[in-house]
């Protein structure tokens, strides 16, 4: 009986503390420096009434500096409000432990790009790069995220971060709540 109990504790412990392997979309070292970026990961997906929006994260490491790349993709036949990132934009992450982590947008204004596809949909793509503040890594590695707030140039939007969902885009299961727990080790 003791052996079975020890085996269960060992297996649960291994599962809880096992880190996922890092998958990079870019991993370059040249005379200018080093840059690597993880694959994009869907954090939020909304499909309602012919309007679709996705938020993707990827982590990057540029010459030893970690950043979070956020990409917002919207698709609609209706009018879409343009949100912009500027030097005052921020990303707020509320953790399950009650703490709020703030990431600061780099000093580059961006209002996205609008592209019309062959089916008459307007597609807006907005990308932003956010820097981690000192001390935020340890908090993000130890507690899941339950709410994300994006502060744009003129607006603010909140997103509930799901524990898990099946994406309609690619039929894969995503676990956005533990994204940082599972992936921050890739840019340390």
Determine the average pLDDT of the residues in 138-161.
96
Residue 71 lies in a domain: yes
Residue 40 lies in a domain: yes
Q: Which of 25, 14, 69, 24 is nearest to 185 (CA)?
A: 24
Q: For residue 32, give the DSSP letter.
A: S
Q: Please name every residue paired with 39 in a beta bridge, in sequence order, or none if there are none.
A: none
Distance of alpha carbon 18 from alpha carbon 147, whole angstroms: 25
The pLDDT tens digits of the residues spanning 65-76 come to 999 999 999 999
Residue 10 lies in a domain: no
Residue 14 lies in a domain: no
For residue 79, what pLDDT is reported?
Answer: 82
- At residue 37's C-alpha, the angle toward residues 106 and 69, to 5°, is 35
Contact 2, 168 (CB under 8 A): no
Determine the average pLDDT of the residues in 85-102.
96
For residue 3, what pLDDT is reported?
Answer: 52
Distance of alpha carbon 139 from alpha carbon 180, whole angstroms: 10
- The total domain count for the chain is 1
Residue 4 lies in a domain: no
Domain span at residue 149 reads 23-187
For residue 2, what pLDDT is reported?
Answer: 52
Residue 64 lies in a domain: yes
Residue 2 lies in a domain: no
Contact 145, 152 (CB under 8 A): no
Residue 6 lies in a domain: no
Between the alpha carbon of residue 29 and those of residues 42, 68, 188, the distances in Å are 27, 19, 16
Determine the average pLDDT of the residues in 165-186.
96
Contact 45, 169 (CB under 8 A): yes
The pLDDT tens digits of the residues spanning 95-116 come to 999 999 999 999 889 999 999 8
* Residue 20 tokens, joined: 């996922």
Distance of alpha carbon 31 from alpha carbon 83, whole angstroms: 36
């Amino acid at each position: 009986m003791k052996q079975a109990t020890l085996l269960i504790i060992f297996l649960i412990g291994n599962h809880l503390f096992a880190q996922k392997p890092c998958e990079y979309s870019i991993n370059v070292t040249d005379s200018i420096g080093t840059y690597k970026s993880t694959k994009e990961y869907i954090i939020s997906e909304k499909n309602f009434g012919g309007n679709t929006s996705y938020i993707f994260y990827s982590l990057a490491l540029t010459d030893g500096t970690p950043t979070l790349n956020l990409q917002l993709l919207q698709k609609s036949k209706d009018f879409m409000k343009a949100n912009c990132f500027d030097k005052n934009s921020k990303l707020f992450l509320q953790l399950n432990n009650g703490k709020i982590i703030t990431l600061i947008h780099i000093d580059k204004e961006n209002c996205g790009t609008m592209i019309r596809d062959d089916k008459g949909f307007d597609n807006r793509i907005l990308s932003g790069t956010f820097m981690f503040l000192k001390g935020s890594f340890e908090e993000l590695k130890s507690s899941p995220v339950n709410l994300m707030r994006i502060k744009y140039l003129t607006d603010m939007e909140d997103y509930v971060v799901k524990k898990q969902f099946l994406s309609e885009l690619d039929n894969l299961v995503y676990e956005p709540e533990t994204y940082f727990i599972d992936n921050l080790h890739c840019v340390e």
